[in-house]
Amino acid sequence: MVKQYDKLPPILGFLDASMIGIGAMVGAGIFVLPGLAANMAGPAIIISFLIAGIASMLTALCHAELATAIPKAGGAYVLVNETVGGIWGFLAGWGKWFSLVVKSGFSLLGLIVFASVFFQHIPRTLGIVTIGIAITFVNYVGVRISSKLQNIITLILLVTLGIFSAICIPSINPALYWPFAPYGWSNVFKAAGLLYVTFIGFAIIATMVEELKEPERNAPRAMVLSIGVVTCVYMLVALAMTGIVAYDELHPTKAIVDVAEVVMGDAGIILITIIGFLAMISTINMCILAASRISLAMGRDRNLPFILSRVHPTFKTPHISVFLIGIVVIAGAIIADIEKLAKAANVLVLFAFMLVDFAVIYNRQVKKKMPAFKTPGYPVTPMLGAASCLILIAQFGAKDLIIGFGVLSTGIAWYIYNTAKV
């Protein structure tokens, strides 16, 4: 049984939870992936973002149902472990933890790229270590500080992106929207699959539900609001991008920079670089925060070393988990091929989400539990959520699937060893 002092205090409100979800999502969806998606879907990338947003909402509602029924830190791990149990819960946590660490490392590398625009002579490794330590320290000393930082960064991002889109509107050329879906509607759905992973920040709210005030009320509202806001922002930016620069001329990984340069010149490049830098900080901050809560929950259940469940007596954070994750993220960004691991990490996220969708059905049909918040459209909603995850997993290449399976196999080996030891 977990002692009282090992629990995390509920100090986050509805606004904090919403900003956490939004801040975790506004990153690659704006600064990296739109160019790639536009090359697949053309101007219909606007519809691709809408499809991805709707698909993510299906799984978000399932997360909300289980998170309100089980208001404990740990996200997908706790949600599956407390319902289905056994190795399925462990694999949900293992896969989600790995994906968050990889996403943190990937975003740290992206942050260094943005920082190099202004600090060209700082060694890459020094930049990774310095920024990595700073963000780890913020998470170490308290979620209140981390969440306030997140609120400020997210507000700046939303306001700046809104102003940027408004500035772009007079420069839009409607003729560039035709043909709307030049490569066919099948590619519009493939682009939606690519963009789906940019919406997974809602799950971080479920990971932190133990720290929410009135979780049965605030968790579902924050998840729905964060996905709704981010979907609108993504569609607005996509509308501006494809209406100013022809879809087949957008750079695959820096499309928004191209658009900013066309509309605002050098000032646009500087603006996008600054908000890109802030977006990467936001993503790293939230991923380290969420990953530490997963390892805390797995440590509580002895599925990982129990020391990871320790909570700092003063800061009330899982300080050992935060510290070790910070080391892994920094080391991974320096020595690992993070870009190759990123797609495999997305496979594991989708796998974990699929388990959560099935867990909702299992909880209702087998365990006969009816939570305070019920997924609308049950059982169709969780079934569609699981099906969409499975379809998206099938879109990844063989190499990505092999790496993902390798990570799961490593987890299975640890689980068997650890279970036998206990």
Q: For the chain, give me the number of helices (H) and strands (E)? A: 17, 0
Distances (CA, A) of 209 to 227, 334, 379: 17, 32, 24
For the chain, the 3-state helix, strand and coil shares in percent, each to the nearest 5, are 80, 0, 20
Alpha helices by DSSP H, listed for 180-214, are 185-196, 202-207
Q: Is residue 290 part of a domain?
A: yes
Phi first, then psi: give them for residue 212, nearest 5 degrees: -95, 140
Measured distance CA(221)–CA(225) in Å, rounded: 6
Domain total of the chain: 1
pTM over 0.85: yes
Q: What is the pLDDT along the chain (422 residues), one digit of tens a residue?
A: 444 436 788 888 999 899 889 988 887 667 777 888 899 999 999 999 999 999 899 999 999 999 998 988 888 999 999 999 899 999 999 999 998 998 888 888 878 877 877 777 888 899 999 999 999 999 998 777 777 888 888 889 888 888 888 888 889 999 999 999 999 998 998 888 888 878 888 998 999 899 899 998 999 999 999 999 999 999 998 999 999 999 999 887 778 888 999 999 988 888 888 888 888 888 888 889 899 999 999 999 999 999 999 999 888 889 999 999 999 999 988 987 776 787 788 889 899 999 999 999 999 998 888 788 899 999 999 999 999 889 888 878 888 899 999 999 999 999 999 988 76
Structure tokens at 104: 């943190």
Answer whether the bond into residue 305 is a cis peptide, omega within 30°: no
Domain that holds residue 67: 9-421
Q: Is residue 115 part of a domain?
A: yes
Q: Is residue 96 part of a domain?
A: yes
Q: Give the CATH number of the domain where residue 146 resides.
A: 1.20.1740.10
Q: Is residue 117 part of a domain?
A: yes
Q: Is residue 310 part of a domain?
A: yes
Q: Is residue 1 part of a domain?
A: no
Measured distance CA(191)–CA(185) in Å, rounded: 10
Structure tokens at 82: 């407390």
Distances (CA, A) of 412 to 321, 340, 352: 21, 22, 14
- CB-based contacts of 360: which residues, under 8 Å, 6+ apart? 62, 65, 66, 375, 378, 382
Name all contacts of 108-112 with Cβ < 8 Å and 24+ positions apart.
108/132, 108/280, 108/284, 108/329, 108/330, 108/333, 109/333, 109/338, 109/339, 110/28, 110/31, 110/32, 110/276, 110/280, 111/277, 111/280, 111/281, 111/284
Q: Is residue 2 part of a domain?
A: no
Structure tokens at 2: 């977990």
SS3 12: strand
Measured distance CA(112)–CA(120) in Å, rounded: 10
What angle do the packed helices 255-264 and 215-244 form, to 10 degrees? 60
